[in-house]
Structures are given as C-alpha cells and as structure tokens.
Amino acid sequence: MARINANYDKLTAGYLFPEIARRAAEFTDANPGVQIMRLGIGDTTEPLTAIVSGGLHAAVDRLSNSDTYSGYGEGEGNESLRQALADRYAERGVQLNASEIFISDGAKSDSANIQSLFSNDAVICVQDPAYPVYVDTNVIVGRTADAVDGQYEGLVYLPCTEANGFVPEPPSERVDLIYLCNPNNPTGAVATKAQLQAFVSYARENKAVIIFDAAYSAYITDPDLPRSIYELDGAAECVIELNSFSKDNGFTGLRLGWTIVPKALVTEDAAAGKVNTMWRRRQNTFFNGPANIVQEGALAALSPEGRRQSAEMVAYYKVNAKTIRDCLQSIGLTVFGGVNAPFLWMKTPDGMDSWAFFDKLLTETHVVGTPGSGFGPSGEGYFRLSAFGHEPDIARAVQSIRENLKL
Amino acid sequence: MARINANYDKLTAGYLFPEIARRAAEFTDANPGVQIMRLGIGDTTEPLTAIVSGGLHAAVDRLSNSDTYSGYGEGEGNESLRQALADRYAERGVQLNASEIFISDGAKSDSANIQSLFSNDAVICVQDPAYPVYVDTNVIVGRTADAVDGQYEGLVYLPCTEANGFVPEPPSERVDLIYLCNPNNPTGAVATKAQLQAFVSYARENKAVIIFDAAYSAYITDPDLPRSIYELDGAAECVIELNSFSKDNGFTGLRLGWTIVPKALVTEDAAAGKVNTMWRRRQNTFFNGPANIVQEGALAALSPEGRRQSAEMVAYYKVNAKTIRDCLQSIGLTVFGGVNAPFLWMKTPDGMDSWAFFDKLLTETHVVGTPGSGFGPSGEGYFRLSAFGHEPDIARAVQSIRENLKL
C-alpha cells in the first residue's frame, strides 16, 4: 500500500511565477491589444555569444562523426571544464583542485540537491526574502513543520531589511546549514568581505556549513567586493559554493552550473575529504553529468575571447539595470541593488502591499514586475525588477513608468 | 554542528565499473602493446543520426539569434516534445495526455529521483540482479539497513534465474514500490504480456506502484511483446514508466529521457491526479528541464525520417548482439538475452565465479565484459556482454574469443 511523501502537502500553494503569469494573462484578456512589458522575471534575453555558438556547433559535429563520437561522460563533468574553472579561480588567488569542482545542469539543481548530503535533523537557516528553492526543498524532504504566516516552523530566518542594508548578521542561535545568495536574489544586495567573514567565523565556530549561491557573481564589478567566498580565510573548511553559466553567458535554457565541495570541508562527524567524496557518489548515482555539447559550449565561454564576449553581455544587462534605477529614482522612488547585481529591489510607494503595487504597475503602466512578498515575509512592501531584457524593451518600459505611474 | 547523511556509509564500497576499469588498466600496464576490446559497458558508439545532428545545429542557430533566442523552458520539458511522444504511444493504442509526460535529463536521473514522491517507510522491491541505481538511491535516502551478503536488509529481492527465465513472479509478501527493468539490464530478458499482467494485478490488489524502466524498449522487435506496460489493462492506475533517447538515438552523453506519471495513478492515500501533480512540483523545484537544444534534437529524432534513422541504429546494434550470441553458442557456451534486448547474459563455464571469468576472458582473449555478480547475488555465475560497439570491433572481439578462450 504505497503512500506518498506527505511533506508535499506542507508547501504553500501558489508558486510565485505562475500567479504572476495568471494576473498578467487576466489583464491581457480584459485589455486586448495592450502590450505587456516584463521587468520581472530573471530570464535572459540576449543570444549566445559567437564563441559559445561556435563551440556548440563543433560539439554537435564531433558527435555526428563516427571517429569522434562519445557517449557517457563523467558524472562530475568533463575534466577539461573543471580544470578551466579551477584556473579562473586561481586568477583571484583561490586555489582549487579540479576534483573539488562538479559540473551540473545548473545552480538550481545543485541548490536543491545539496541538502541531501546532510542529516535529516539538520537545522536550516535562510535569508528572508530568499530564492524559494532553498526553502521548498527542505520542506519536501521533511526538515520543517507547517508554514505559519508565510514562514515554516523549524527553519531559522534571517530578515534582510533596509536597516541592515539587506545583509543580515549570522544567526544568534545554533544552526547547521546556512543558505546565502550573494549577489542576492531578490534584493540585489552584495555582502562586503567583513560581512561574509562574520558568516565564515560563525560556521567555523559552530561547525555549520554555508551553501553559498554565487550565481550572479559576474555582476560584481566593485574590486573591493569578493566574487567567491573562498577569497576569505577559512571558507574552504565550511562553505560549498554554487555558480552558473546562466546569467553571464545566457545558458538559462542550456542548463549548466557548477558546485565546489572543497576537500577541506568538515562537519561535526565528517573529516576533510568525506563530503567531497559523498557528493561525487551522489552525482554519479542520481545524475550522469550534464549534456556533453553544453559542456563544450561552456569550455568555449571560458576561453579568453569567450570571457571577453561574456563580459560584454554582462555589461549590456548592467546598462539596463542603471536605466531602471535612474528612472525609479528620478520619479522619487527608493531603490536598492542593481549596481553589482542584475536585480533591483524597490520600496513600494507609501508602504503599499507588494501585490497591490503589482496590480497598480500593471494597470497604469503595463509593466510586470515581481512582488517582494513572494520571496518571504520580509519582502512585503518591496518589489523586484530585473535587468534582463532587450535594451529597447527596457527603454519602453521605463518610459511608460515615468509617464504613467501615478504617485 | 552539521552532520552528514550517514546512509552513505551503508553503500557497499566499490561501484562495479570503476573496479572493471581498474583491472583492465592493471592488465594493460602489465602487457604493454596489447589492445583491450570492450564488450561490457552499455555505452553507445555510433554517431548521432543526420536528422538529430541537423536538429541540434538548428537549435544552436536559434539560440544564437536575438530574434529567436529563448531562456528558461518548462520544468517538465517542451510541450511539443511531450506531445510528439504522446502521439508515438497512441500508435500502439496507448492514450496519454502530454501533461502525463515529463522530459528529463535521462532515465537514470528519473529512476533515482522518483522514489522521493513516496513515504520514507515504503517497502522497496527490486529484481536480483538489477541496475544498481534502484537500490543505491533507496539506501541513500534511508529505506534500508546495512547490506548482508550483498543484499540490503529491508529490501525485497526477486531472484531472476534460469529456472524462471530471468522474469520473476510478483512478490509473495506485501511491498509498496516495485522496480522492473524490461527489457532487462543486465539479463536481456523480456517479459511477456501475461508476466507483466501478473505484476499489474499484484500492484492493483496491493495498491503498490511499479517503476517500469523501459529504457531498452526500442530493441523489442517481437510483435507479441509489449513495448510499453500501458499496453496492459489497468497499468495506468499503478505504473510509472521511464524511457530514454540514449540507446536508440545515441543520446547517452546528450542526456534526455522521459517519465510518464499517469493521472489515473493512485496510492493508498493519494487520489487520481495527485502523484502527477507532485512530480510536476518536484521537477519544477529540484530541476529546470533538460537542455533546450537537446530537446530540439529529440524532436527531430521523433519525426518520420528521424524514426527511420533511429531504427537503423537499433538494427545495427542488434546485428552485433546476434554476432556475439552466435559466437558464444558455437563454442558451447550458454547465453540468454540479446534478441529483443541489447544485453546478453552468459552463463560462465563450469559455474565459474563471475570475477574469475572476467580475469580469464581478459587474460586469454583481451576482451572486457561485466561480471554478473556486480548486479546482485543472483548474477553470480553469469556475465553480461553488450551489443554496443562498432561492428569491426565486435568482429575482432568475437574472433579472439573463438580462437583464444580455453574451455
């Protein structure tokens, strides 16, 4: 008599983006002919760079030829790609062995699956607001009770507020796993070296493990801000860092990311090296490596010319971020982020409810954004806008906000 | 004080294929200049078909163009690909809605992850021998105790023996989840309609769920054998079927499979539709859909011309299977499978231990195969050979066995 995993029933019903799509469709149906402009979803819009495109075509040709075809790859990803990533970290003084880097089908998958390495009774700590995957996956595997007022009992939340510049202090209680997203989705905040060092110190003192999601790190241009947490002393003992090719190379649909599990990492009951071995076993048992052609595209992206073209793509989106930021400030709104991050975090006018502002923005300007409350209770009264979009579309959206939003 | 998932320590140490690689390397080191021939690993060797290659190139071009680029796809895969698969099932009288089909990065991933939909105390039943992923994933999530004599306590094993033609009867006790691989890896056995119907009847009577891995179904050419378990009455109420583009289109490295979770499926505590909804939620939370370009390659593979080219690839490997089978029988060995399946299951001569025969075959003929005991205790005394390989390489290996194996 099979029974289901009843933890699924604890998930609070509507996932954010389907609800946004529903309201946008409702508006379009009621207002035929009106063109909706999207400034909300974190989806890339610019085409693959020429060098990545060439790398993918070459990979397809290789697989189409009897002499060069290959089948299964390594569950942890191609050695050459892992080495190329290690070399890139080395430029910033971070020494990693290729065997500490695992290629995957995206930072989302890894941020979802990494918790499975730890004990069922691990106490989980997340930022509030946060990327929903960190929370939902721990709910599904049973590390929480039900949600009350938008927060799951059994999780520890660190509020990110205007008062702390959206970068919280480490928790005051004992926790086991801490999810940090930096640059942050949704707030666009980026932690300083000192702020990150406080988390590393906490983790080392408490033998906690930090899951550090650096998927937006390519947007950090301020030289004083660390791009990898391993730039900090002691981080290799207590941090698993995730990253992605999505946002700086447009791989959102190609699916490619990586996770670093340092051999130095320790837990209460695991000596150095063990967690690294466990993740290798996990990836070779539950996964078989990402698509080989996509890995070859990524290898092209890491070549000197690939990195130049990737930097251009990031610069393009960063101009969008500035355009949106300048517009919102010019009409008197308060906005955070969008400088070393692709996300902007806007305070709703007059403390308006996030969803009420969503409806107002849609109705008055035909622009769709993302209500902050969708990322957690501390997101209430905020609104996320994203720099991903074609520049002319961003310009039109911004013009409409400037001309039509009634403040 | 983070602690690890201690279930990893229950896994029996060596995974099969690394041990094979180690012994092969040891032989090569000791015998420089000797060329090893592989008849063991289930990895494809023939290049992508022309139509798949064209589909992949077109997809790369689409993503390289600003007007046609797209980012994130659906977590459950492209609608068009799901519909094309539904249409193919309909040809065999199996009616499926596209919303019951979920595209993934391979049958391996799905066969690993599908157990997460069910309760932690589910009693798991597997064939012995079996594909190690079914067992290892349930060990890792904690549904077993330690292994004793190669079998994990808490799992129910169904021995596949010469006496039952390597297709067991349903279990005599109550179980909750039953993993069936058909055509079977490693034995190459294929169940008849009546044999499968017995499992469906068992599952319906006991509200059990069957995980039916049909990854090798393209190798079934006997018209009396079902290719999908949904060809049987009542299967939609109790079976989740998995399949793959790996073995009939050479997608082993491209990573693409699919899973069918029928809306009719019920469990003790879940009404029709619920498990389908849960898997959708799971795929959208832990996964983000497979690589978009690979999905476009798969869509090309499902076109009429794509299916013709795929059938040629299957026929090519089936000729290899016949070559190996004929050779082994001609020298007096007993061999099963390899007719409606890409795997051959050979009885070792004189009841020799599987690993001892591995060493003998390697030393005398320089051919590498897979010891049956690596798939479970009932595999002892057997040896797996695979039809995947270039035809000239197969011919060389077979000649060496015929000339050099001392029987």
> Do B298 and B310 have their domain in common?
no
**Which of B131, B210, B288 to probe by mutation at the A interface, max A CB count within 10 Å?**
B288
**Domain for residue A5, yes or no?**
no
Which residues of chain A have a CB within 8 Å of the CB of B70?
A: 253
A4 to chain B: nearest residue by CA? B118
Structural domains in chain B (count): 2
pLDDT at B338: 97
Cα separation, A118 vs A122, in Å, equals 7
pLDDT digits (tens, 9 = 90+) for B106-151: 999 999 999 999 999 999 999 999 999 999 999 999 999 999 988 9
pLDDT digits (tens, 9 = 90+) for B210-222: 999 999 999 999 9
**Domain for residue B208, yes or no?**
yes
Three-state secondary structure call for residue A163: coil
CATH number at residue A338: 3.90.1150.10
pLDDT digits (tens, 9 = 90+) for A149-206: 889 999 999 999 999 999 999 999 999 999 999 999 999 999 999 999 999 999 999 9
**Domain for residue B390, yes or no?**
yes
pLDDT at A42: 85
Burial of A95 (0-12, 13-18, 19+ CB in 10 A): exposed
**Domain for residue B198, yes or no?**
yes
> Do A148 and A274 have their domain in common?
yes
Mean pLDDT for B55-79 is 97
pLDDT at A41: 76
pLDDT digits (tens, 9 = 90+) for A140-149: 999 999 999 8
Which residues of chain A have a CB within 8 Å of the CB of B72?
A: 43, 252-253
Final residue before a domain boundary, out of B263, B282, B302: B302
CB nearest A45 (choices: B1, B8, B71): B71
Least confident of A89-93, B13-17, B205-209, B398-402: B13-17
pLDDT digits (tens, 9 = 90+) for A365-397: 999 999 999 999 999 999 999 999 999 999 999
Chains A, B: CB contacts under 8 A, how many? Answer: 257
**Domain for residue A6, yes or no?**
no
**Domain for residue B8, yes or no?**
no
Q: How far is A280 from chain B (nearest CA, A)?
A: 11
Is the Cβ pair A8, B278 closer than 8 Å? Answer: yes
- Mean residue pLDDT across chain B: 96
The torsion of the CA quartet A236, A242, A248, A254, rounded to 10 degrees, works out to 140
Contacts of A74 (CB under 8 A, 6+ apart): A289
Quick one: which H or E segment has residue A102? strand A101-104
> Do A276 and A206 have their domain in common?
yes
pLDDT at A26: 95
- Mean residue pLDDT across chain A: 96
The answer to whether B146 and B10 have CB atoms below 8 angstroms apart is: yes
Which residues of chain A have a CB within 8 Å of the CB of B133?
A: 285-286
Cα separation, A207 vs B303, in Å, equals 55
pLDDT at A13: 63
Residues above pLDDT 70, as percent of chain B: 99
Cα separation, A259 vs A110, in Å, equals 7
Is the Cβ pair A72, B288 closer than 8 Å? Answer: no
pLDDT at A18: 78
Which residues of chain A have a CB within 8 Å of the CB of B5?
A: 116-120, 278
Q: How far is A203 from chain B (nearest CA, A)?
A: 9
- The closest alpha carbon to B113, from A109, A337, A167, A65, belongs to A109
Q: How far is B364 from chain A (nearest CA, A)?
A: 28
**Domain for residue A332, yes or no?**
yes
CB nearest A122 (choices: B3, B267, B289): B3
CATH number at residue A166: 3.40.640.10
Final residue before a domain boundary, out of B268, B302, B336: B302
Cα separation, A63 vs B55, in Å, equals 13
> Do A128 and A30 have their domain in common?
no
> Do B398 and B257 have their domain in common?
no
A275 is written with which tokens? 């967690």
> Do A145 and A274 have their domain in common?
yes
Residues above pLDDT 90, as percent of chain A: 96
Confidence of residue A40 (pLDDT cuts 50, 70, 90): confident
> Do B288 and B390 have their domain in common?
no
> Do A192 and A113 have their domain in common?
yes
Q: How far is A156 from chain B (nearest CA, A)?
A: 15
Three-state secondary structure call for residue A101: strand
**Which of A5, A114, A177 to probe by mutation at the B interface, max B CB count within 10 Å?**
A5
Residue B41 has pLDDT above 80, yes or no: no
Which residues of chain A have a CB within 8 Å of the CB of B142?
A: 120
Mean pLDDT for A265-277 is 98
> Do A347 and A210 have their domain in common?
no
Of A13 and A103, the one with more pLDDT: A103
B163 is written with which tokens? 């006496």
Confidence of residue B193 (pLDDT cuts 50, 70, 90): very high
Which residues of chain A have a CB within 8 Å of the CB of B278?
A: 4-5, 8
pLDDT at B18: 78
Range of the domain at B218: 52-302
**Which of B17, B43, B56 to probe by mutation at the A interface, max A CB count within 10 Å?**
B56
> Do A289 and A396 have their domain in common?
no
Residue B13 has pLDDT above 90, yes or no: no
HEC secondary structure over chain B: CCCECHHHHHCCCCCHHHHHHHHHHHHHHHCCCCCCEECCCCCCCCCCCHHHHHHHHHHHHHHCCCCCCCCCCCCCCCHHHHHHHHHHHHHCCCCCCHHHEEEECCHHHHHHHHHHHECCCCCEEEEECCCHHHHHHHHHCCCCCCEECCEECCCEEEECCCCCCCCCCCCCCCCCEEEEECCCCCCCCCCCHHHHHHHHHHHHHHCCEEEEECCCHHHCCCCCCCCCHHHCCCHHHCEEEEEECHHHHCCCCCCCEEEECCCCCCECCECCCHHHHHHHHHHHHHCCCCCHHHHHHHHHHCCHHHHHHHHHHHHHHHHHHHHHHHHHHHCCCCEEECCCCCEEEEECHHHCCHHHHHHHHHHHHCEECEEHHHHCHHHCCEEEEECCCCHHHHHHHHHHHHHHCCC
Residue A17 has pLDDT above 90, yes or no: no
> Do A272 and A378 have their domain in common?
no
Final residue before a domain boundary, out of B252, B285, B302: B302
Q: Which amino acid is at B340?
A: N
Q: How far is A306 from chain B (nearest CA, A)?
A: 14
Is the Cβ pair B267, A3 closer than 8 Å? Answer: yes
Residue A14 has pLDDT above 70, yes or no: no
- What's the sign of the alpha-carbon dihedral B81, A388, A90, A114? negative
A134 to chain B: nearest residue by CA? B285
Is the Cβ pair A118, B50 closer than 8 Å? Answer: no
Residue A366, sorted as left (phi over 0), alpha (psi -120 to 50) or beta, turns out to be: left
**Which of A16, A53, A63 to probe by mutation at the B interface, max B CB count within 10 Å?**
A63
CB nearest B294 (choices: A44, A57, A291): A291
Residue A147 has φ and ψ, to the nearest 5°, of -85, 140
**Domain for residue A7, yes or no?**
no
HEC secondary structure over A369-389: CEEHHHHCHHHCCEEEEECCC
Quick one: which H or E segment has residue A347? strand A343-347
The answer to whether B211 and B178 have CB atoms below 8 angstroms apart is: yes
pLDDT at A220: 98
CB nearest A140 (choices: B252, B285, B288): B285
**Which of B10, B12, B16, B63 to probe by mutation at the A interface, max A CB count within 10 Å?**
B63
> Do A270 and A193 have their domain in common?
yes
Which residues of chain A have a CB within 8 Å of the CB of B44?
A: 71
Mean pLDDT for B372-381 is 94
Confidence of residue B14 (pLDDT cuts 50, 70, 90): low
Is the Cβ pair A117, B281 closer than 8 Å? Answer: no
